[in-house]
Structure 1
Amino acid sequence: MLDQFLTYKNLILQLSLSLTLTLLLTFLKIPIFFLHSLHTYIHPDNIPPGGTRAAIRRPDSSDSGPGSKPNPELRKRTKSKSKNTPAFDENNAQIFRLKLDEAHLQTRLYFPDYSNAFTFSFVAVSALALQIYLGDSQSDSGVLVNGVFVPVLLGFTGVSKLLLVLAKVSAEKSASRRSEKQLSVALGVVGLVVGSVVCFRFSPSVLDFDFGSVDGNGRLFIAILMGCFSGFLFMPAAKSARAFWLGTDQIRSDLSMLSCEWFGRMVLYLNSAVVLFTVLLWINPFGGMLVNKNGKVRNAEGLIGNVGFSASDFAKFRLWCLLVSSFLQLVALRPNLQMYLNEALLSWYQRLHAGKVPDLEFSRAKVFLHNHYLCLVVLQFLAPPVLLLLFLGLSRVDGISPEDYQYVCSVLPCSAFVKEVAVFMAWWILFLWAVYSSATVFLYRRCILYMS
């Protein structure tokens, strides 16, 4: 019995970890705890019993309590106006802020999808991390002895699950504008064309990736996957850019609750900088400046290519940058989500001061939709960094051979997909995120787009 345990200890550890984490995440309700205490906003006609307070009222009101009466002077001015002028109800100009808890989150659309994706992703990433820690001491003993079958299966299933979730939320009718959906489809086609060019022609000369061991079918699969990510990641990246624009107070508003605190703002800036820096590490002109190819420096003109990391250290450094970038995106998820909810507050505030008799119907609908699709946006913010971790983990797993996975390897070369292609897909996701978010911020900076 002891010999059997020692033989299959890796497999037993993997199964024990997966089952234990699944039970703990489910019974402790970690997905709910991850979003707990975020602030959302509601209008007075949708006040739940208890737990609310007025966030902002019209500035010309002397009382800010949720149950206070309108100012008598305002009442007199309203009565003295012409009958053709509609009366302004000061009580309806209030907006209430409340903290999200379990009861609120469980009523949101796509909450089961978010909870399942969070749990499964955490288990898959943990299994891959354990396999990397265990190393390749039993890499030649078969998939059952070395336990590599469990993390590989969880990793590929997690990637497929998150890709389907992104497709599902991207097709939601009322969650985004029709123009955004059309632009996503167009960018998906462009991504497919770019993927075909990169895989079949120019990748070694422009990008530091080599698909020489991948056959034509494998390269076509990679190009299709690149096109899918190009379409699905546009709307999440655009939302992230709006959250960055609002969280860093680029609109120069006079409301402190619209922007992040100093820590959240620092996370948003740091996340953007690390994403851009990591993307550049795989572009040959920039990456070549950081690699020491010769080891000798004879004059100042020959510094490039002669100073910096060794080739092996630079490869490890790039992988560490991918890992740090994915963790920073997870840390920035809560500030981004809070800024998404604050967009509804900004819309209400803008329309409250748009005229003497504000029309708050648009902001009322915006507040409702932002609350209704809260978990959908969480999925859009959660999927990219988790996909980065999954691809990065699959690229570091040892002990995978064509003999162990004959069915999968009949379609794709296992060694090439798990090593080179997995890193490339992680970089491609980060590249799309950097391009989409940077372009959106640039359009806001040029006043082509604006917050409303």
Structure 2
Amino acid sequence: MPSSLTSLILSTNNLVLHTAFAISLTLFFSFFKIPSLFLHALHTYIHPDDVNPAASSSPGGIRAAIRRPGAVDSDQPKPRKKSKDKFEFDENKAQIFRLKLSEGHLQSRIYFNEFYSAFNFTLIAFSSLILHTFLSVDTDFGLVKNGTVIPLLLGSVGVFRLLIFIIRVGFEKSASKRLEKQLSCVLGVLGFLLGLIIVFEVIPRWVLDFGFESFDGLGKFLLAVLMGCIVGCLYMPSLRNARAFWLGTDQIRCNLSIISCGWFSRSLLYANYTIALFTSLLWISPFAEFLVNKNVAGAKRGPHMANELFGYVGMSRSNFYCSRRWLLLITGLLQFVTVRSNVQMFLNEAVLCWYQRLHASKVPELDYSRAKVFLHNHYLCLVVVQFFAPSMLVLLLFGFTQFDDNFLKGIPGLENYSTYSNLAKEVALFIAWWIVFVWTVLSSGILVLYRRGSLYVS
């Protein structure tokens, strides 16, 4: 076999492998319907106008989620006997019923197709990025021949699609209040202004451990616009995330087993919030300096009293840089794993509303809670997109940071490919951190408002 042919085969091994891997995953996800399995067996609720005993008596069918004490053995809750002098309230119309989500239920929800395609595509893109990190890549072959083009394209399209979807669902006409949409726009403008302050380095380097010297004026402006868009898009998902955390950890002390989650899900909620908060602080220089050993040869010394107080503890700067990147990956994975718990808390929020309306007055008025239960079922897939999109954005952007320093080699007309490769990796790392930082700040601020009583779940 000629040496040129052998070199061609060796150089295109990764390209063929990436292509075959992406096609195989596409067929696998299509056959096993992973998005439906991801949400399978979550509990949702219905609030019918009338109770049909025949419909709920079959094994495995719809059953009452909350019953009266002493009526556990009965298949159908009976109305309380009241005297004729009092107002007769038909309790049969006040029942709420629980059922497990299946593929048939999910297919009837709005935005199911968008959620299905986005979920599959982003998982395929992330899997391709993971595969790329384990392959031996020769940058001399160029971007196409060494296979880097496949994970790069899949990841870029995945990031673009998630941003479009999260903007689209955020401004769905009746999925959120008008005030929430207005606050998203206001926060987006404030995020853009803060982005300008950051990228033009009004905030000094010793405060934020990012450098933007490689950017020109237009590049800095576009980056600030992207930062503002991310802030505006993440407000409503952060609001839902804070509500899910508030309910899942039973901060309202309602002591309703049907609303609170189990110990494992509750641990996930606490771990997700704690890790995200810690990771977002690792790029704040005063905090990061506490974790770096300044006594290591060649390490830079931080400002103020940090060296004197913590200069001989922590890890080396290179190990610290590596560790905080992997913590970014762990944060994205934890956010993704917590999606099911957050979605369950979103559905349980409708039960809390029903329970509050049922016991708020002597004559319950259940029209609002009935509409609440219906809308939470109707917009289920929309909310799932809001929960899993930020985590997948972090994971995909982290995958970009694992490319080699010359991964853009081979693009026609690009001469200084090493500089642009490093610049693309820096942008990916910064945006991934910015998503985690904004998500944490917004969620923390909303939780503070819940704690102070300025906001409440209803």
**TM-score higher than 0.5:** yes
CA spacing shift, 1:306–1:352, aligned 2, 3 Å:
same
Verify the 8 A CA contact 1:61 1:70 in the aligned structure 2.
Answer: no
| Structure 1 CA distance for aligned equivalents of residues 70 and 382 of structure 2 | 37
How far 1:407 moved relative to its partner?
7.5
RMSD of equivalent CA atoms: 2.4
CA spacing shift, 1:135–1:442, aligned 2, 3 Å:
farther
Task: Give the corresponding residue for 2:176.
Answer: 176
The answer as to 2:24 corresponding to 1:20 is: yes
Question: Structure 2 residue aligned with 1:434, among 434, 440, 446?
Answer: 440
CA deviation string 1:378-417 (max 9, x = no partner)? 000010010001111111112645553358999x973244
Amino acid at match of 1:190: L
Question: Structure 2 residue aligned with 1:354, among 352, 355, 360?
Answer: 360
The answer as to 2:19 corresponding to 1:10 is: no
CA spacing shift, 1:24–1:352, aligned 2, 3 Å:
same
Amino acid at match of 1:119: N
Single out whichever of 415-424 and 19-28 deviates more from structure 2.
415-424
Verify the 8 A CA contact 1:295 1:307 in the aligned structure 2.
Answer: no
Summarize the alignment of residues 29-428 of structure 1 with structure 2, pairs less than 5 Å apart: 29-45=33-49, 51-57=61-67, 59=68, 62=71, 65=74, 67-71=76-80, 73-74=81-82, 77=83, 79-81=84-86, 85=87, 87-136=88-137, 138-201=138-201, 202=203, 204-295=205-296, 302-398=308-404, 400=406, 403-405=409-411, 414-428=420-434
CA spacing shift, 1:207–1:355, aligned 2, 3 Å:
same
CA spacing shift, 1:69–1:15, aligned 2, 3 Å:
same
Verify the 8 A CA contact 1:124 1:390 in the aligned structure 2.
Answer: yes
Single out whichever of 90-99 and 286-295 deviates more from structure 2.
286-295
CA spacing shift, 1:69–1:304, aligned 2, 3 Å:
closer
Verify the 8 A CA contact 2:126 2:396 in the aligned structure 1.
Answer: yes
Verify the 8 A CA contact 1:218 1:413 in the aligned structure 2.
Answer: no
| Structure 1 CA distance for aligned equivalents of residues 148 and 384 of structure 2 | 31
| Structure 2 CA distance for aligned equivalents of residues 417 and 406 of structure 1 | 18
Verify the 8 A CA contact 1:40 1:98 in the aligned structure 2.
Answer: yes
CA spacing shift, 1:375–1:301, aligned 2, 3 Å:
closer
CA spacing shift, 1:441–1:432, aligned 2, 3 Å:
same
| Structure 2 CA distance for aligned equivalents of residues 63 and 273 of structure 1 | 40
| Structure 1 CA distance for aligned equivalents of residues 407 and 79 of structure 2 | 74
How far 1:100 moved relative to its partner?
0.1
CA deviation string 1:247-276 (max 9, x = no partner)? 001111131111110001111111111011
CA spacing shift, 1:190–1:196, aligned 2, 3 Å:
same
Amino acid at match of 1:24: F
| Structure 1 CA distance for aligned equivalents of residues 190 and 413 of structure 2 | 31
How far 1:306 moved relative to its partner?
3.2
| Structure 2 CA distance for aligned equivalents of residues 209 and 404 of structure 1 | 28
Verify the 8 A CA contact 2:188 2:232 in the aligned structure 1.
Answer: yes
| Structure 1 CA distance for aligned equivalents of residues 306 and 48 of structure 2 | 69
Verify the 8 A CA contact 1:203 1:209 in the aligned structure 2.
Answer: no
| Structure 2 CA distance for aligned equivalents of residues 246 and 271 of structure 1 | 15
Structure 2, unmatched stretches of 5+, are: 298-304
Q: TM-score if structure 2 supplies the norm length?
A: 0.91
Q: TM-score if structure 1 supplies the norm length?
A: 0.92
Verify the 8 A CA contact 1:135 1:398 in the aligned structure 2.
Answer: no
